[in-house]
């Protein structure tokens, strides 16, 4: 298992609203632990149900689920937020999550929860903005860290996409919504491409690292 934990980027501004989104996700999970099953179920994504299309992003299936998502949100969300700006970032995050949910409903349709679709959207945007910036990763066997390495983001993200494509086509009975992951990812690619085309953001083209790390 490969876990990204740090990116080398040029920080245009502090990513305050990503911090806010992370806190809101953690607070929602805390409420989820004590809420009734009926209350939680009303925000699970299951069919064309608007509260579910938005609410499912703040629900998680357990501690490992939310911890993993918060790690990815810290790594990729901070980087994207620092580029696009605090004002528009929450809107982008919700659009990516809703799009991932729509793709899941169309392709799969089973009940789903978690921020992974929105976060994979951030991964897609990150790839468009910072394709050659290094990502530092830890390599785990089961739960034991074995080694760390750094590699350009395009290779790490390509590996994540390949894993999800394999899961989508060869692991039909998994509890993971690969459709939401992939839907969010490609939505992030498209949105990032549009913003670059309109010159709303700029791509980091140089592999010369200016080490203002977000960590």
Residues 190-215: tens digit of each pLDDT? 999 999 999 999 888 644 443 443 44
Please check whether residue 25 is in contact with residue 67, taking contact to mean a CB–CB distance below 8 angstroms: no
Residue 179 placed within a domain: yes
Residue 210 placed within a domain: no
Give the structural domain span for 135. 2-197
Residue 143 placed within a domain: yes
What CATH number does the domain containing 179 carry? 1.20.1540.10
Residue 209 placed within a domain: no
Residue 205 placed within a domain: no
User: Half-sphere exposure of 199 toward its Cβ, with a 13 Å CA cutoff?
Assistant: 0
Predicted pLDDT at 144:
59
Residues of the chain above pLDDT 70, percent:
91
Confidence class of residue 143 from pLDDT cuts 50, 70 and 90? Answer: low
Confidence class of residue 142 from pLDDT cuts 50, 70 and 90? Answer: low
Residue 215 placed within a domain: no
The mean of the pLDDT values for the chain is: 88
What domain count does the chain have? 1
Residue 207 placed within a domain: no
d(CA 155, CA 203): 17
CA dihedral defined by 135, 4, 188, 168, rounded to 10 degrees? 130
Q: Which two tokens stand for residue 2?
A: 């490969």
- Closest CA relative to residue 130, chosen from 177, 196, 72, 86: 196
* pLDDT tens string 159-179: 999 999 988 887 766 668 889
d(CA 89, CA 57): 15
């Amino acid at each position: 298992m490969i876990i990204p934990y740090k990116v080398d980027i040029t920080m245009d501004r502090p990513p305050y609203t990503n911090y806010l989104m992370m806190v809101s996700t953690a607070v929602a999970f805390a409420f989820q632990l004590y809420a009734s099953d009926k209350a939680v179920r009303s925000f699970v994504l299951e069919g064309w149900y608007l509260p579910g299309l938005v609410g499912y992003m703040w629900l998680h299936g357990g501690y490992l689920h939310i911890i993993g998502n918060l790690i990815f949100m810290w790594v990729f969300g901070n980087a994207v937020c620092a580029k696009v700006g605090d004002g528009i970032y929450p809107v982008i995050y919700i659009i990516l999550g809703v799009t991932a949910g729509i793709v899941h409903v169309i392709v799969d349709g089973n009940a789903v929860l978690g921020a992974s679709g929105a976060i994979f959207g951030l991964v897609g945007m990150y790839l468009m903005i910072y394709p050659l910036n290094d990502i530092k990763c830890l390599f785990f066997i089961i739960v034991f860290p074995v080694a760390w390495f750094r590699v350009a983001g395009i290779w790490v993200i390509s590996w994540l996409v390949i894993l999800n494509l394999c899961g989508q086509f060869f692991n039909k009975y998994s509890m993971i919504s690969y459709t939401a992951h992939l839907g969010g990812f490609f939505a992030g690619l498209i949105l990032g491409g549009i913003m670059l085309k309109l010159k709303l953001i700029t791509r980091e083209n140089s592999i010369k690292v200016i080490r203002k790390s977000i960590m």
